[in-house]
Amino acid sequence: MAFELAIGIVGISFILAAFILDEFLKTWNQNTIRYNLFNIVGAAFLVWYAYLLNSWPFMVLNGVWFLAAMIKLYEILKK
C-alpha cells in the first residue's frame, strides 16, 4: 500500500501545486506550458493510482483532466 500511496501523493502534489500557483502568482495561468505540464504529470500519476486501486470513477475523472491539459498544451505549442 505504501507504493500506491506514494503514487497518489505525487499526483495530487502536482495538481495542487498548479492550482495554488495559478491562484497566487501572476506568471502562472492556464495559458502557460508549465501549468499544463504540472496538470498532465499530476493527472497521469492519479490515473495510475486509480488503476492500482481499481477505482474507475477516479480513473475517468483524471483521464479527462489529463486529456484536457494535453489539448490545451497542444494549442499553446501550436501558436
pLDDT in tens, 58-79: 999 999 999 999 999 999 999 8
Torsions phi, psi for 29 (to 5 deg): -155, 180
Q: What was the pLDDT predicted at 4?
A: 95
pLDDT tens-digit readout, 1-56? 799 999 999 999 999 999 999 999 989 999 999 999 999 999 999 999 999 999 99
How many helices (H) and strands (E) are present in the chain, helices listed first?
3, 0
* Prediction pTM value: 0.93
Q: How many Å apart are CA 29 and CA 22, to the nearest integer?
A: 5
State the residue for C-alpha cell 497521469: 44
The DSSP annotation for 47-60 comes to HHHHHHHT-HHHHH
